[in-house]
Structure 1
Amino acid sequence: MALKSLSWRLCAALALFCGYSWPHAHSALAPENEVPLRPTTWLAEEKITPITLPKGRTRRLYFMLKKETAAMSLTVSPCDLPIEWSLAARTRKDKPHKSLQWSTKKSMPEVWWRGPGTDEKMHSFTGSAVDTYRGPSYPHASIYILKLRSKQQNTRATVYLHEGLGPSGTFPLLPADPRVHTLGVGMTSVTLSWAPSASITSIPHTQKSYDYCVLVNTQQNYPSLCAAQESMRREKDQKQEKKERRRRVTVWPILKEWWWQQWDSYPEPQSPPSSSSLSDEYADLQCVCQGTENVCTVSELLPDTQYYLDVFVIDKLNGTSMAYEGTFARTHEEARAVITTLREGELRWVTFQDRGSSSEQFFSFRPRGLQQSGLLTLQSCGGGEKVKVTVSSKGQVLTSQAVGGDLAHIWLQGSPSYLIHLEREETTMGRTSAATDPALPGGLMASVKMQTSSAYHRRGVPSLPSTLQIKSFNRLRGCNSVTLAWMGTEERSLYCVYRRNLGGLEAEAGRVSALTAPCLGPESRSDTERVLCKYFQELNPRRAVTTAVIGGLEPGMAYVFDVYLMRRWGIPIKYASKMVKTRKEC
């Protein structure tokens, strides 16, 4: 222990004795042994250099020009966020000390850090657009310094240095009018046009190396393809981050992020995607790459939606692109169907005037009462034509069926309101019968007879007669009266009998067919034609037969008799017409 203590004191004394000679040794040895605290980036000529910009940190890139270079251009392309960048030239009055000359341990920019010098500002820009400095090189400039900074978030940018006059040819050229014009807007499509790029029109044989791409989205216009890719990546990252937060919560990601922010380590992004993968890269943004045509129709869009549309001209050989001034358009909304409100107990004739198209009509019905139940009754009146009825509530289809000449009952229960959709189904039979039928109201092409009623006292669809045929008894047929019979139901209902007198010639089938139309109800008959009304009820359906004796007839005359089952709910049920001729002699 004593020897160790003595050796330590000797070393300390020797250090104090030699302390006056340290400055001379430092000036000679330090430049060879120092390691730069901050890494430096040497900007290569004629090469696209991707740069990562951490939030709030200034990145510096250095480059030098050849002595014979009279002009240069420097292009900075921000990815998706506004950045600040400036270009300055540094001049030195004296040459660097020999101890500061470049060695394997020092980069060229570091040599010019040390010692006196002045920075002359040449250009500055703030924004998210692609900006290019074009101008003469700075006289007596020893080195050029490019500074880049992002104040909002971490972002990326690319830098390109070109020595000489004129365009570099690396980036596609935009026309004098770089705006995107809207030629037409539809319900699910938008047609665009734009002026062609000079890179394509000036050299026709190089057209194969260029593409126009159209990006469509509902968020915003993008200043570059990189911005579109970054937006898509952030959406994916946010979704992934939400999933990871659900799994576990840890402080390690926070510590890791804080640790790496203390050092100037800048992982550079990968090279831009090749043109062959552009469509796949931006598939989520509905990218349409279509060669060199400067007119494009984007389809399969949603109605009544605002879309932002951007056009980019892409150089597939160099992997670069330039953005036109994007536009936006709102697609047309769908033609809203007219919905007619049905009143309580309203009897409605639904007509379809246009037989050349698939006609359809919409109705709404709101039942009364707390039970929210109702009855929908329909009957087709177009001969062999059928109508499809679809009942829905709150966007959910409850029932769908075809309605023909037979009466159809649809029980409505459990919803405060119903949407009734009627659509005609084309058939080869009876296409002109409804149009030319003079018995139909107003001579219209009536297709459906419909009625809706609240049925809060009922528990289901009302019962129907087992048959709608009317029977006459030949033995009970006289000169002034006839006896008719028909089937009733177990429910108490009102039955009304109507008659019509036919002449001898009118008794032929042609006139009778008009009177026997199934849709003709008591509302279409004259009160003078009604001969009697009676209530009837029989709990046993097999024995539910009722009869009526119709008197006051003339001998030897033909009569058409109609029986209607009058109900509180639904359309009156019409029995099949029956023609009976009284006896001439009794």
Structure 2
Amino acid sequence: MAPMALPWYLCLVLALLPGPSWQKGPSAMALLPGPSWQKGHSAMTLEKGHSAMALVLAPENEVPLRPTSWLPAGKLTTIHLPKGRTRRLYFTLKKKAAMMSVTVSPCDLPVEWTLIGRSLKDKGPKSLHWSSKKSVPEVWWQAPGIETKIYTYTGNAMDTYSGPSYAPASIYILRLRSKEQDTSSAVYLHEGPGPSGAFPELPPDPRVHTLGVGMTSVTLSWSPSSTQARLPQSQPSYEYCVLVNRQHNYRSLCAAREGIRREKEREKTRERKEKKKKVTVWPILKDWWWQQWDSFPDPKSPATVSDDKYGDLPCVCEGPDSVCTVSDLFPDTQYFFDVFVRDLLNGTSAAYTGMVARTHEEARPAISALREGELRWVTFRDGGSSEEFFSFRPRGWQQSGLLTLQSCRGSQRVKVTVSGKGQVLSSQAVGEDLVQMWLQGSPSYLIHLEREGTTGPVYQPASDPAGALRASVKMQTSSAYHRKGVPSLPSTLQIKSFNRLRSCDAVTLAWMGTEERSLYCVYRRRLGDKEGGGRGGKGAATGACVGPESRSDTERVLCKYFQELNPRRAVTTAVIGGLEPGVAYVFDVYLMRRWGIPVKYASKTIRTRREC
């Protein structure tokens, strides 16, 4: 058995120890554990008997001690860089190549790369020959040499070393290393003078400029690529891509793609977590339920949407133009803009220096503050703005108030919207009838009046004799202390007169009141013969917007307080004397309140008797 076992062990030793260098390394006894060596031939006997067979091995049959990666010239090479591990690329130059350039374009993370030239002190062992490029690294691994650092760079931007070849170098080494996490880099080797032409050349000014900034759009401009300027326009081989995001600028198109991909993955993870929170699962059917749920993906989920590397970003890769308008942006928001020039023939790209811009904020309307109990005539200029904004802060810890409005234009609709704490509290149309809106629950209120409909006859206050302003709405705001709701209004605003009680110098009026104690004032106005209407008519009646503030004190003839807890019996009367016989008078009654604007009853025209 012993003579037959020797050739089997001999083959195994020769396979593990390539070349003559195995004689200087550890013995076969240490490399091949096993008790059979103690029983068979010794390691010394094996070296003396079979050393000649080890010297005849060709370098092509040797197993490299390290993986050898050659960098070809004139070809874009993408290399994966594991975190913390150094990757090496080897290359040699032609004898006639006096110049060279090495370009490294990291994807999205900083990469440390170094270009080294190694020169051999003497030729390698005679047992190894330069039969092929595959064996060249084995030569300098085993032969003494000197390494010279030619260039080094650390960063995530594309960088190029360009210079003369290193004459003493027998072989060049390109070392690449990523310290943060796994990434990739594109490498390109060019032999000879001049630019390589593999990557687009940026112009002398590689910055992106802004031509205009609006609320929802930004217009960008940049200088064309130097390479594109040298090419005829009939051969468009370059295009520009514009990317916009809210996080940061990107140094390469590859980094932009990776950033979009990571953002989609984070969005999918968030949606998956939200879906798990919303779904209620029975404990017994939990496993079965989730299996059925996962088998039917949501059609709106990012997983089912086509993986567009540019997403929904506007103005992406639209051609050779160097001006672009990015629209559909949000007002008052900061955006990062990047421009990339792409070589369509080589599939490479270069990044311009990105810029940051903030869109303009929306035009905020002027907001007028309303004082306590202030009566405001809200007017709109013809051809001007059709909306007005007001703010009101009620007094007292209750934070409650009353807003009353009345339209002074019958053919035009006015809409009022009240907001508090950023939410709409109430919204309704304002007409000739009095509108009361109860304000409660907010320390301040925003009142928005918007004009709608067509124009029509309008009451013009005395404060606007020139007619430049057209009155539209009368409004008042008041703090309502210790109240729990809007004040009550009369069941009807009609004034009744009694023909039997009408005389040559006096008339009797009646109107409905409320269960709250309030002040009622009666105003009269004499009409001429041309103006006067018939007995009990409504000719020349004053408009609904004419309040006590617009009446003369000489027209007020009576003021009285009235209160009746039963609304059906809340009727009050007044006898108006001191009138002239046979004269028509217009009578107006106003309900004067502590909160809100006065309530005007419908005007009543009465002619006194001619003969009594």
Q: Scaled by the length of structure 1, what TM-score is found?
A: 0.83
Which residue of structure 1 lines up, in the alignment, with residue 182 of structure 2? 154
- Which AA in structure 2 matches 1:147? R
Checking the alignment, whether the CA contact within 8 Å between 2:541 and 2:604 is kept in structure 1 is no
Answering whether residue 561 of structure 2 is matched by residue 535 of structure 1, we say yes
Answering whether residue 506 of structure 2 is matched by residue 478 of structure 1, we say no
Which residue of structure 1 lines up, in the alignment, with residue 93 of structure 2? 65
Matches within 5 A, 1:437-448: 437=460, 439=462, 444-448=469-473
In 1, Cα distance between equivalents of 2:269 and 2:609 = 95
Deviations 1:32-57 (A, max 9, x none): 77644542321122222112223333
CA 1:580–1:413: 2 relative to 1, 3 Å? same
Which residue of structure 2 lines up, in the alignment, with residue 549 of structure 1? 575
Aligned residues: 545
1:394 to 404, 407, 421: 421
Matches within 5 A, 1:34-73: 35-73=63-101
Checking the alignment, whether the CA contact within 8 Å between 2:402 and 2:479 is kept in structure 1 is yes
Checking the alignment, whether the CA contact within 8 Å between 2:539 and 2:605 is kept in structure 1 is no
Answering whether residue 379 of structure 2 is matched by residue 351 of structure 1, we say yes
Checking the alignment, whether the CA contact within 8 Å between 1:200 and 1:207 is kept in structure 2 is no
Which residue of structure 2 lines up, in the alignment, with residue 273 of structure 1? none
- Which AA in structure 2 matches 1:335? A
SS of equivalent residue, structure 1 residue 288 = coil
Which residue of structure 1 lines up, in the alignment, with residue 327 of structure 2? 299
Matches within 5 A, 1:251-270: none
Answering whether residue 451 of structure 2 is matched by residue 450 of structure 1, we say no
Unpaired runs of at least 5, structure 1: 1-6, 249-277
In 1, Cα distance between equivalents of 2:123 and 2:143 = 9
Checking the alignment, whether the CA contact within 8 Å between 2:376 and 2:474 is kept in structure 1 is yes
In 2, Cα distance between equivalents of 1:297 and 1:503 = 70
- The structural deviation recorded for 1:76 is 0.8
- Which AA in structure 1 matches 2:549? E
- Which AA in structure 2 matches 1:383? G
Which residue of structure 2 lines up, in the alignment, with residue 468 of structure 1? 493
Matches within 5 A, 1:34-433: 35-101=63-129, 108-205=136-233, 207-238=235-266, 280-283=308-311, 286=314, 288-353=316-381, 355-430=382-457, 433=458
SS of equivalent residue, structure 2 residue 188 = strand
2:530 to 484, 505, 508: 505
- The structural deviation recorded for 1:513 is 7.9
Checking the alignment, whether the CA contact within 8 Å between 2:60 and 2:135 is kept in structure 1 is no
Checking the alignment, whether the CA contact within 8 Å between 1:229 and 1:282 is kept in structure 2 is yes
- Which AA in structure 1 matches 2:601? Y
In 2, Cα distance between equivalents of 1:85 and 1:395 = 55
Which residue of structure 1 lines up, in the alignment, with residue 601 of structure 2? 575
CA 1:29–1:453: 2 relative to 1, 3 Å? same
CA 1:37–1:584: 2 relative to 1, 3 Å? farther
In 1, Cα distance between equivalents of 2:272 and 2:427 = 46
Checking the alignment, whether the CA contact within 8 Å between 1:496 and 1:534 is kept in structure 2 is yes
Deviations 1:455-505 (A, max 9, x none): 343333322222222222333222211122222223332211011223333
In 1, Cα distance between equivalents of 2:204 and 2:42 = 76
1:496 to 518, 521, 526: 521
2:585 to 544, 551, 559: 559
CA 1:568–1:170: 2 relative to 1, 3 Å? same
Which residue of structure 1 lines up, in the alignment, with residue 611 of structure 2? 585
In 1, Cα distance between equivalents of 2:464 and 2:517 = 31
SS of equivalent residue, structure 2 residue 526 = strand
Checking the alignment, whether the CA contact within 8 Å between 1:566 and 1:573 is kept in structure 2 is yes
- The structural deviation recorded for 1:552 is 0.9
In 2, Cα distance between equivalents of 1:315 and 1:43 = 22
What's the Cα RMSD here?
A: 3.3
Deviations 1:103-145 (A, max 9, x none): 9996643343221122233322233322112233332532211
Checking the alignment, whether the CA contact within 8 Å between 1:200 and 1:206 is kept in structure 2 is no
Checking the alignment, whether the CA contact within 8 Å between 1:36 and 1:106 is kept in structure 2 is no
- The structural deviation recorded for 1:389 is 0.7
Which residue of structure 1 lines up, in the alignment, with residue 42 of structure 2? 14
- The structural deviation recorded for 1:337 is 2.4
Deviations 1:421-451 (A, max 9, x none): 1111132433xx35xx354656532221112
In 1, Cα distance between equivalents of 2:376 and 2:474 = 6
Unpaired runs of at least 5, structure 2: 1-34, 277-305
2:549 to 505, 523, 537: 523
- The structural deviation recorded for 1:88 is 2.0
Deviations 1:138-157 (A, max 9, x none): 32532211112233443322
Q: Which one is further off, 318-327 or 106-115?
A: 106-115
SS of equivalent residue, structure 2 residue 357 = strand
Deviations 1:333-366 (A, max 9, x none): 222223333333322222222x324422222233
CA 1:532–1:243: 2 relative to 1, 3 Å? closer
Checking the alignment, whether the CA contact within 8 Å between 2:340 and 2:349 is kept in structure 1 is yes
In 2, Cα distance between equivalents of 1:372 and 1:245 = 42
SS of equivalent residue, structure 2 residue 124 = coil
Q: Scaled by the length of structure 2, what TM-score is found?
A: 0.80
In 2, Cα distance between equivalents of 1:485 and 1:441 = 35
- Which AA in structure 2 matches 1:395? G
Deviations 1:249-285 (A, max 9, x none): xxxxxxxxxxxxxxxxxxxxxxxxxxxxx99312265
Q: Percent identity?
A: 69
SS of equivalent residue, structure 1 residue 226 = helix
Which residue of structure 1 lines up, in the alignment, with residue 512 of structure 2? 487
- The structural deviation recorded for 1:506 is 4.5
- The structural deviation recorded for 1:317 is 2.5
In 2, Cα distance between equivalents of 1:439 and 1:243 = 64
Checking the alignment, whether the CA contact within 8 Å between 2:404 and 2:436 is kept in structure 1 is yes
CA 1:244–1:283: 2 relative to 1, 3 Å? closer
